[in-house]
Each structure stands twice: as C-alpha cells, then as structure tokens.
Amino acid sequence: MTIERTLSIIKPHAVEKKIIGKIFDRLECAELTIIGCKMLQLTLCQAREFYAEHQDKIFFQNLIQCMISGPSLISVLEGENAIQSYRQLMGATNPIHAISGTIRADYADSLTENAIHGSDSSISSTREINFFFSCYELFSKKYQL
C-alpha cells in the first residue's frame, strides 16, 4: 500500500458553476482524504510560476487568463495511490477524450477550462503542494512527510 499526496485545483470557472461539493463528493467516495484546503485567486505571478513548464506552449496565455479569472479551490488529497487515483477520477486533460463519468467529461467547458488540475507525478505533487501549503496547513493522521 502506497499512501501518497496530490494537489487538486478546482479552477475558477468550476468554482463559479458551484460544483465544488459535487467534486469533493466524488473524491471522498473514492477514499481520497482532504487534508488541506484553501480558496484563493491566483495572481498573474503565481499562475505563471505554477505553470512555468508550459510557458513556451501556444495555450499558455489562455491558461493563465483562465487561472487568474476568479477564485480557485486548492486542496491536498491523501490516500492510497492518490496521484493516479485522482487522475483517473479527473479523466483526460482534453474533455473530448475524457471517459464518460469522469469529472472532466461531466464538468469541463473546454481544453483550457477543464474544471480541475491534479498533479501528474510524485515530483510534481511535492512541488505543487509546497507551492501553496506549509506543513502547518496539512492535517494527516496517516503519514508524516
């Protein structure tokens, strides 16, 4: 059994659509535990730094505009194989390719406004969790970093 942590962002357009509860219900039903959570509106600087790996991509400006357009709900999830487990719940990045019943298939508006973000590896999850949270903001009974 591998207990992992992963970062989840419910993107501004999904917060606006009032689907936080629906998304949290799905992940808690999948045995992912929310061990930290905050709502914040990313600054331009934060968004550009968080998504720096995509800075040369053609979609970068649209992605940044989407991410600073309103508050996001940012959380840390913990559970068995949490990274892969959350990615399965999310579905493919492009909602056109997302399997029916996944979060993106049900709630994404477009490839950029694809409802949620989740870390894609353990290296990313460590970086992304540390980007938004200090250890004092995480509440775990299972696993101490």
Minimal distance in Å, beta carbon 35 to ligand CMP? Answer: 20
Token pair of 42 as six digits: 């990313």
Question: Does 17 carry a binding-site annotation?
Answer: no
117 touching ligand CMP, by CB under 6 A: yes
Write out the E strands in 59-120.
72-80, 116-118
CB 131 within 8 A of CB 8: no
d(CA 89, CA 142): 22
Q: Are 106 and 120 in contact (CB under 8 A)?
A: no
132 is in an annotated binding site: no
Number of residues that bind ligand CMP (CB under 6 A): 8
Query: Is residue 5 a known part of a binding site?
Result: no
Q: How far is the CB of 118 from ligand CMP (least distance, A)?
A: 7
Q: Which residues are annotated as a binding site for ATP?
A: 11, 59, 87, 93, 104, 114
Q: Name the site residues for ligand CMP (rule: CB under 6 A).
A: 54, 59, 63, 93, 111-112, 114, 117
